Structure 1
Amino acid sequence: MAESSSTSHSVYRIDPLHGAEDYSVWKIKMLDILTDLGLEDYIGDTPPSDTTKDWKALSTIRLRVDNGPLVHISHAKKAQDAWKTLQNLYEAAGAIGVVSARRKLFRAQYDEGGNNR
């Protein structure tokens, strides 16, 4: 019996990216998926010029983000553009990462009596 030549991308089940709080874990899983599909080069600094595979990489990313992040990458024409947009938004050094860290810092309160709020 001949093996199927279709890709196995439908078997990948990961939680969709919601935002900065789950970006680091999502990124690792997405890198693994893209690597397994042979598409990891399309998010690199100099992606190959195969348009079909680039669209496949972009679709792979878009199908694994929640509605909020999807809005930010909906106009991306290349997987690299979508990847870098998400990276800039959600990595710790990105704008939302900084805002999130500041919010946590400003919300942290300490009572002199030793009780944390």
Structure 2
Amino acid sequence: MTDEQLKTLQAQLLAEKEALEAGITMHEDDGENVELEAVDNHPADQATDLADEYVDQALEEFREEDLEKVEIALQAIKDGTYGTCTVCGEPIPYERLEAVPTALTCVEHASA
């Protein structure tokens, strides 16, 4: 992988990190008014709100997991190990990293 390719992937990862952090912050801010909204709601509305909250919690968990993957990839760039399969030690093809910048393994070891 060239230095230019590495810089491109690092920029992608940083942009993704920023977007994920913004999504996490936005979700934290949304949760502050839940109690006030529930005061005069019809039971069906409360059920819908509860279902929405479960979906929001699941999405939040996915965001946090994705953020962790991005941070691990960024640390690997700093450590000089980014783009090397953590299982076999072979270089990860640029095309794979371009498609999945958080990939830590080659395709062969992706399910390992």
CA radius of gyration, larger in: 2
TM-score (norm 1): 0.32
TM-score (norm 2): 0.33
| Higher RCO (CA-CA < 8 Å; seq separation 6+) | 2
